[in-house]
């Protein structure tokens, strides 16, 4: 950075705020690598509107219903336990399914059948051992989530794929308001606008205002789960992965969650949920996958 | 997506090397020193890229080559082979940092890089005042007006949660955590496009560690600065980095999203590392 008022004249790079002089070290230029993925010049990322959020959106069209949003083909996930005699465990074997926009697929089955592993393979917290997961992205077109570059996955997580884990895991020094707003910060929202949105979600989720500046680590299990859910829903992703979303919630809050899922669906979000709670989620799911 | 830095097939060795080196060293053999010729292979065929605005973590045990890699990116250690391509944010043409002469490398380091060392005495001149240390970086970036240098230094001290009224105090009167913050202030002085962090919280007690990490997280968030973070502590990596590289015996054994590395480690060494976390 040059000293303010310095006499050396710069031409500024367009919109970068960076001096466009040729520095001493720039003598040996080489062409940009063709492997770098570039966004189309002038292209804009389209968003969809979260319920009453004032969020910019590409309107959801009825014809999109005929398209497939996600196709899982012969998904297999094995864990090689190198520290325990190298044995292999395969909780998911050759699973295939697909979902369309606004679908809600409920995956259920006994514990240990690989329900959560399927969600984590889609979110890429787990690396699939075999198979393909095709996702129709607004940013990248049809893309295989198994083979996509890490940076592509991070971008998709910011913009298109949301995930709510079974347990909330956050830093003990971050307030509930900041925890719930984090996905909006990542999308580049201004802090004030994001927090206004976050406060609205906290109110809707029944979190009392005097808790908003406290860390969710100090909350009850049900309150933590509500924060966790709010964080997944707030950014209005196109695909929402929910792992036991109604676990540790009372009957009234379960109803709030069901309404949140239905509202998200109405806005074009597809939902894949994993749950044992068929009584609560069964009625709002239009498809079910039983693992046995 | 635009990458800021691309490391291609980077090597660093200490010694002449021999034809058997490749067979006798590496993670599989559990050593980076060749038993036949004594050559230490500190970094072997490192490949990765760093997107603008992201934090990439490098984790591994002592002697795995992570600091060597960082020093090569900082241009303070010459690479034996390979390329470090830097793509300036203001233009699309990449520059190979390994091909720079000493003069250009110094300019580049002052203009575009900032580094925070594990030990403050490596990054700070303990005989200069804190203000003098930060000013050193600004002077190297051709700042000359004393008033403006002091104003910028005070601003940086406030940003890094240091009391600006202590601008003229010597570093030895500061605590360990404060010295790390002085280093961060110095590293940020010239608004670098890449910040290198080498074990920044090692040796600090837990509450001070937390404050330094929070500060780094806040600065990254506000300035969207690209960071390359070296640590042996998975907790630090988990807090700051969204992608992680795992190194062992001079080689990258695994890389991926940080949550994937933590939840589904593939390499035996990574599994050991994750299972050893406290």
- Give tens-digit pLDDT for A193-244: 999 999 999 998 889 999 999 999 999 888 999 999 999 999 999 999 999 9
Best CA proximity match to B109, nearest among B199, B196, B223 = B196
What H or E segment, with its residue span, contains residue A95? strand A87-99
* Burial of A26 per CB tally in 10 Å (0-12, 13-18, 19+): middle
CA A170 from chain center: how many Å?
16
Quote the ipTM score: 0.88
B150 touches chain A (CB under 8 A): no
- Name the residue facing A2 among B2, B99, B142 (closest C-beta): B142
User: Which residue in chain A is spatially nearest to B87 when comparing CA positions?
Assistant: A32
State the pLDDT confidence band at A5, using cuts at 50, 70 and 90.
low
Q: Which residues of B touch A179 (CB under 8 A)?
A: none
Residue B47 and residue B9 in contact, taking contact as beta carbons nearer than 8 Å: yes
Residue B56 to residue B197: CA distance in whole angstroms? 10
Residue B172 has pLDDT above 80, yes or no: yes
Query: How far off is chain A from B174, nearest CA to CA, in Å?
Result: 25
CA distance B19 to chain A (A): 31
Q: Which helix (H) or strand (E) holds B139?
A: helix B130-140
Residues written for chain A = 292
Does B207 reach chain A within 8 Å, measured CB to CB?
Answer: no
Is B195 within 8 Å of B226 (Cβ atoms)?
yes
**What pLDDT band is residue B278 in, cutting at 50, 70 and 90?**
low
Angle at A175 between CA A171 and CA A178, to 5 degrees: 95
Domain ranges of chain B: 3-275
**Per-residue pLDDT tens digits for A9-37:** 333 333 333 333 444 444 433 333 333 33
Q: Are B257 and A81 an interchain contact pair (Cβ–Cβ within 8 Å)?
A: no
Q: Which residues of A touch B242 (CB under 8 A)?
A: 154
- Residues B105-137: tens digit of each pLDDT: 999 999 899 999 989 999 999 999 999 999 999
B82 Cβ neighbours under 8 A, 6+ residues apart? B7, B8, B9, B10, B11, B45, B46, B98
pTM (two decimals): 0.84
CA distance B228 to chain A (A): 15
Chain B residues within 8 A of A152 when measuring between CB atoms? 1
* C-alpha–C-alpha distance, residues A25 and A107, integer Å: 56
Residue B206 near chain A (CB below 8 Å):
no
Q: Average pLDDT, whole number, for chain A? A: 81
Residues near A141 by beta carbon (within 8 Å), at least 6 away in sequence: none
Alpha carbon of B243: minimum distance to chain A alpha carbons (Å) = 8
Q: Distance (Å, rounded) from C-alpha A110 to C-alpha B161?
A: 52
Contacts of A173 in chain B (CB under 8 A): 210, 214
Give me the DSSP letters along B10-27.
Answer: EEEEES---TTHHHH-BT
Cβ distance A154 to B54 less than 8 Å, yes or no, reads yes
Instruction: Give B256→chain A minimum CA distance, Å.
Output: 6
| φ, ψ for residue B94, nearest 5 deg | -90, 155
Residues A114-152 have pLDDT tens digits of: 999 999 999 999 999 999 999 999 999 999 999 999 999
Instruction: Kindly report the number of other CB atoms within 10 A of residue A221's CB atom.
Output: 12
A with B: how many residue pairs have Cβ under 8 Å apart? 128
> What gap in Å lies between CA B40 and CA A271, rounded to an integer?
52
CATH 3.40.50.300 is held by the domain B3-275? yes
């Amino acid at each position: 950075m040059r000293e303010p008022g310095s006499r050396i004249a710069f031409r500024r790079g367009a919109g970068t705020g960076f001096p466009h002089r040729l520095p001493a070290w720039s003598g040996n230029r080489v062409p940009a690598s063709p492997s770098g993925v570039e966004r189309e010049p002038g292209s804009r990322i389209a968003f969809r509107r979260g319920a009453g959020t004032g969020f910019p959106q590409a309107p959801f069209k009825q014809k999109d219903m005929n398209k497939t949003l996600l196709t899982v083909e012969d998904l297999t996930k094995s864990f090689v336990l190198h520290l325990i005699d190298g044995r292999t465990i395969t909780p998911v074997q050759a699973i295939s399914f697909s979902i369309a926009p606004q679908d809600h697929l409920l995956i259920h089955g006994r514990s240990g059948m690989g329900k959560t592993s399927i969600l984590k393979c889609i979110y890429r917290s787990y690396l699939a051992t075999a198979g393909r997961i095709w996702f129709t992205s607004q940013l990248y077109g049809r893309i295989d989530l198994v083979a996509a570059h890490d940076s592509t996955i991070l971008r998709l997580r910011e913009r298109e794929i949301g995930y709510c884990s079974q347990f909330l895991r956050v830093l003990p020094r971050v307030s509930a308001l900041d925890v719930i707003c984090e996905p909006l910060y990542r999308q580049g929202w201004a802090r004030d606008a994001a927090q206004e949105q976050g406060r609205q979600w906290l109110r809707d989720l029944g979190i009392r205002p005097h808790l908003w500046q406290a860390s969710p680590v100090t909350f009850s299990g049900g309150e933590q789960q509500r924060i966790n859910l709010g964080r997944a829903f707030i950014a209005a992703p196109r695909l929402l992965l929910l792992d036991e979303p109604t676990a540790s919630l009372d009957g009234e809050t379960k109803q709030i969650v069901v309404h949140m899922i239905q509202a998200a669906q109405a806005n074009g979000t597809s939902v894949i949920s994993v749950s044992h709670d068929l009584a609560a989620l069964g009625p709002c799911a239009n498809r079910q996958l039983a693992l046995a | 997506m635009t990458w800021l830095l691309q490391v291609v097939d980077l090597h660093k060795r200490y010694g002449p090397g021999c034809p058997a080196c490749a067979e006798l060293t590496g993670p599989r053999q559990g050593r980076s020193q060749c038993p036949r010729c004594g050559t230490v292979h500190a970094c072997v065929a490192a490949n990765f890229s760093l997107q603008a605005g992201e934090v990439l973590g490098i984790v591994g045990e002592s002697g795995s080559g992570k600091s060597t890699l960082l020093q090569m990116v900082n241009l303070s250690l010459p690479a034996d082979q390979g390329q470090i391509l830097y793509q300036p944010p203001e233009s699309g043409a990449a520059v190979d940092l390994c091909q720079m002469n000493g003069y250009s490398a110094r300019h580049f380091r002052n203009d575009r890089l900032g580094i925070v060392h594990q030990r403050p005495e490596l990054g700070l001149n303990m005989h200069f005042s804190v203000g003098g240390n930060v000013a050193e970086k600004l002077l190297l970036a051709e700042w000359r007006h004393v008033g403006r240098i002091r104003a910028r230094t005070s601003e940086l001290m406030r940003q890094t949660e240091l009391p600006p009224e202590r601008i003229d105090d010597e570093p030895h009167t500061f605590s360990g955590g404060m010295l790390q913050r002085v280093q961060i202030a110095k590293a940020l002085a010239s608004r670098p496009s890449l910040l290198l962090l080498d074990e920044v919280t090692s040796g600090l007690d837990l509450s001070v560690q937390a404050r330094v990490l929070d500060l780094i997280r806040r600065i990254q968030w506000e300035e969207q600065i690209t960071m390359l973070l070296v640590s042996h502590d998975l907790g630090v990596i988990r807090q700051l980095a969204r992608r992680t590289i795992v190194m062992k015996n001079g080689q990258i054994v695994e890389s991926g999203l940080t949550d994937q590395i933590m939840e589904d480690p593939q390499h035996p060494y990574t599994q050991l590392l994750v299972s050893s976390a406290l």
